[in-house]
Every structure is written in C-alpha cells, then in structure tokens.
C-alpha cells in the first residue's frame, strides 16, 4: 500500500533530518501544524473560532520513553486547559495515550488522563482520546472506559479501517461520551484492518450510520471525503441530538467554512508543539502529493 511505503520512507533518519531541518520541510509542516508554542495554537484557535469553527487542541507528541516526558506532556495539557479558559476559546482537548505513558506504564497514562479530564471539566470542556496503532486499541479503550466512568466528559476516536470497530462501538456507545469516527491513519496489516479504499469507505459509512442513529452518543464525523460526508448530511436531517463534523487544520479549509456557514457544527483539530514530525508523516502518507510538494520545493530551492 502507498501509505505503508510513504510511512516507511519517512521513518528513515535521513528523511526525518531532511524534512525537519530544511525550509521546504518546515513550510509543509506549517500548513498542518499551528506552530511550536501554545501561544501560536491559541492564536490559530482564536481565528478559527472567529470564523465560526470549533477547535480541538492537540499538544503533539507520542510514544514517549520516560516518566518525566509523560509528566511534561500532562503539564502541557494542563497549561492548554488554562489557556483555553483564559482566551475564552470554544475548544476541547485531544490526547494520545502513548504521550501520557501508555506502553511504559498504563497506570500512569490513566492517572494523567484523569487529571487532564478534571482540568477540562473545571473549564466546562471535554477530552477526546485519539486512537493510535492497533497494538494499543484494547488498552486505549480500557483506559477510556474507566476515565469516562469516573469523569463523564470524555470521548474517543474509532478507526473505520479496523475489523474490530463495529464491536467496539457496541461496547462504548452506552458510556455516553462523544465518538470521533475516522478512517484510520496508520499502516495496519490485513489480519486487523481492511486494506482496500472501498472496504474502508463501506465500513466508515456503516459505522457513521450507526452513530448517527444512536441518541446516547455525540457522533463526531472526522473526514474530508465528500463521499463519506454526504450520507451523514442526509442522516442528520432526522437526528435531533447533537453531533458534529471534525476536520484537520490545513485540510480542505474551504469545505470547513462552507459546512459551518450552512449551519453545521464543525470542529478543527489544531496540533501544535515541537514534536510535529510523526503527525506530518501521517498527513503525507494520506496524500503522497504532500510529499511530492516537499520534494519539488527541495529541488527548486
């Protein structure tokens, strides 16, 4: 698959250096990342809010290797909650559990997630747990279930490409949190994930229909693919409970504004921070044209 090939190239250390340390690489990153500081993310969130778009703030980082790094990540999220309140933003928070310690010590990750959920609750907002590689799906859902039972202001991402996702929805819809449905951004094998574009799309449509018909959850439909958005727009005509679209900062900006202008809730995922490289590689793998854009800029100087 093209996705696996692009991710394999970008995982090499020379590619990483080439992208992180050259002006063309940083220019591509600027399209998708709101900046390296919390202040820059707050400024981006402010301007998105001013255009009628809601925001989810993501302090970039994943797969940290020490407890100190997990504490720093937790503190960055507590500062983020403080900044959301201070700036009066219409924003929630997205977290990756491998940034909070999942994989090193799952108990620490659960504890940090609880602290972030409490801080979010104090400012009247929610926390979404991103979904990472399939090796972490079961642990992620387990940590989410406990945090949602304890605090009640969380949600979780579910990936349509995973074979297990329909069963996971049956398990988590009754918990009442919001559920972000996305296609899935990692390289996964055929024993756990659909490999073909049309199979993934079919799965997405099946799961989005299920979510839109579930009054007990708030569906967050996370896609830029009009083929996936259209059936959701039709289903929304008979839904009275809240739901929203979610899209990534820098992807299909015109469509984001168009949907918001026509009265839909649209939330933009706003990543910020110094650890932007793995996030950028996934955006390149989704659309190899992004990698070509970088390559051309590099050759052209």
- Binding residues for ligand FDA, how many (CB under 6 A)? 25
Query: Is the Cβ of residue 67 or residue 295 nearer to ligand FDA in the bound state?
Result: 295
Stretch in the footprint of ligand FDA (CB under 6 A) among 14-22, 70-78, 179-187, 205-213: 179-187
Residue 78 three-state SS = helix
Binding mask 112-141 for ligand FDA (x = CB under 6 A): ------------------xx----------
Report the C-alpha gap between 93 and 76 in whole angstroms.
Answer: 11
3-state secondary structure 3-64: HHHHHHHHCCHHHHHHHHCCHHHHHHHHHHCCCCCHHHHHHHHHHHHHCCCEEEEEECCCCC
Residues of span 39-68 touching ligand FDA by CB under 6 A: none
Stretch in the footprint of ligand FDA (CB under 6 A) among 38-46, 68-76, 84-92, 220-228: 220-228
From the list 252, 253, 257, 264, which residue makes contact with ligand FDA (rule: CB under 6 A)? 252
From the list 183, 193, 212, 259, which residue makes contact with ligand FDA (rule: CB under 6 A)? 183
Report the C-alpha gap between 214 and 218 in whole angstroms.
Answer: 8
- Facing residues of 57 across strands? 93, 270
Query: Is the Cβ of residue 75 or residue 244 nearer to ligand FDA in the bound state?
Result: 244
Measured in whole angstroms, the distance separating CA 235 from the mean position of its chain's CA atoms is: 23
Cβ–Cβ under 8 Å, residues 74 and 112: yes
CA within 13 Å, CB half, 284: 25
From the list 90, 115, 265, 286, which residue makes contact with ligand FDA (rule: CB under 6 A)? 286
Binding stretches for ligand FDA (CB under 6 A): 130-131, 157, 159, 180, 182-186, 222-225, 228, 246-248, 251-252, 269, 283, 286-287, 290
């Amino acid at each position: 698959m093209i996705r696996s090939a692009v991710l394999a190239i970008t995982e090499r250390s020379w590619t990483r250096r080439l992208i992180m340390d050259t002006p063309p690489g940083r220019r591509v990153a600027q399209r998708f990342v709101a900046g390296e500081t919390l202040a820059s993310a707050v400024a981006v969130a402010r301007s998105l809010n001013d255009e009628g778009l809601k925001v989810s703030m993501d302090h970039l980082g994943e797969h940290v290797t020490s407890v100190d790094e997990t504490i720093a990540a937790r503190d960055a999220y507590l500062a983020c909650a403080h900044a959301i309140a201070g700036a009066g933003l219409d924003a929630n928070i997205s977290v990756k559990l491998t940034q909070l310690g999942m994989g090193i010590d799952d108990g620490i990750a659960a504890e940090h997630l609880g602290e972030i959920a409490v801080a979010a609750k104090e400012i009247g907002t929610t926390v979404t747990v991103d979904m990472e590689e399939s090796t972490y799906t079961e642990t992620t859902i387990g940590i989410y279930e406990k945090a949602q039972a304890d605090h009640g202001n969380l949600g979780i991402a579910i990936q349509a490409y995973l074979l297990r996702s329909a069963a996971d929805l049956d398990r988590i819809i009754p918990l009442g949190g919001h559920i972000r449905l996305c296609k899935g951004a990692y390289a996964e094998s055929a024993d756990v994930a659909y490999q073909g574009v049309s199979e993934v799309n079919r799965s997405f449509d099946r799961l989005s229909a299920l979510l839109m018909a579930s009054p007990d959850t708030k569906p967050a439909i996370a896609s830029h693919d009009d083929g996936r958005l259209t059936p959701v727009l039709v289903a929304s005509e008979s839904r009275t409970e809240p739901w929203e679209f979610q899209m990534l900062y820098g992807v299909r900006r015109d469509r984001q504004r168009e949907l918001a202008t026509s009265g839909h809730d649209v939330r933009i995922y706003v990543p910020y921070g110094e650890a932007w490289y793995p996030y950028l590689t996934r955006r390149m793998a989704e659309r190899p044209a992004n990698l070509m854009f970088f390559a051309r800029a590099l050759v052209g100087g």
